Structure 1
Amino acid sequence: MEYRFHLAAKKLKDISKMGHRSRVQGQEQHRGRNKNGRCYLLELPTELLLEITSHLSALPEACLALTCKRLFAISGAILDSKCLRFSRDFAPLFHHYRNGHSYVTPRWQFINLLENSEWRACSKCLKLHPRGAFAPKELRRKSENRTCNLGGYAGIVDLCPCKKLTFRDKTDLVDLLKVRQSFAGLSLQFGDRVNERFCWHSCVENYGSTELKIEIFPELDEQDNLVIWTYYRLSTGMGHLGKEEYMTPRFGCAHRSVDLWLSSVCQINTCHIHDSLCSSCKQISACSACSTTLKCHRKQPFHSVDSDRVTYHFSTLRCLGGASSLPDETWAAQRIHPAQTLVGVDSCNELCPWTIREHPPVGPPPSLGMEILDSAMNDQSLIQLYSSIHMI
Structure 2
Amino acid sequence: MNETSPGRVEGGGLLPESKRRSARPGPSRRTGLFVLLVFVIGAGFLYLNRHDEPEALPEWKPGPFDPPVQYAFIPEKSDCRDHLADATEDAEAKLVTCSEWTLHTNYKNGQGRQELDLTYGMSCAGVKADEDDCSSDIQLFDAASQVQIDDSYRQGVPLRITPDGHFISYFSKSWMRYVGWDLRAGQRKSISPRLDAETLNDLRSVNISPDGRFFTVAFSGTQPRLLITDFATGQTSTVPGFCRVLGLSQAAAVIAAKRACTDIGEDGSKDDTVTILNRSGLVTGEWKGRDSVNDLSPDGRLLVEVLASVGEDGKEHLVVREAKTGKVVRTLTLRLLSESSDAVGYGWLNNDEYILQAETPEPGGSFGYYRVNIRTGKSLRIRDLALSLGEKASLGNVRIKN
TM-score higher than 0.5 = no
Task: Give 1 or 2: higher strand fraction.
Answer: 2
Which structure has the higher relative contact order (CA within 8 Å, separation 6+)?
A: 1
* Structure-2-length-normalised TM-score: 0.22
Task: Give 1 or 2: higher helix fraction.
Answer: 1
* Structure-1-length-normalised TM-score: 0.23
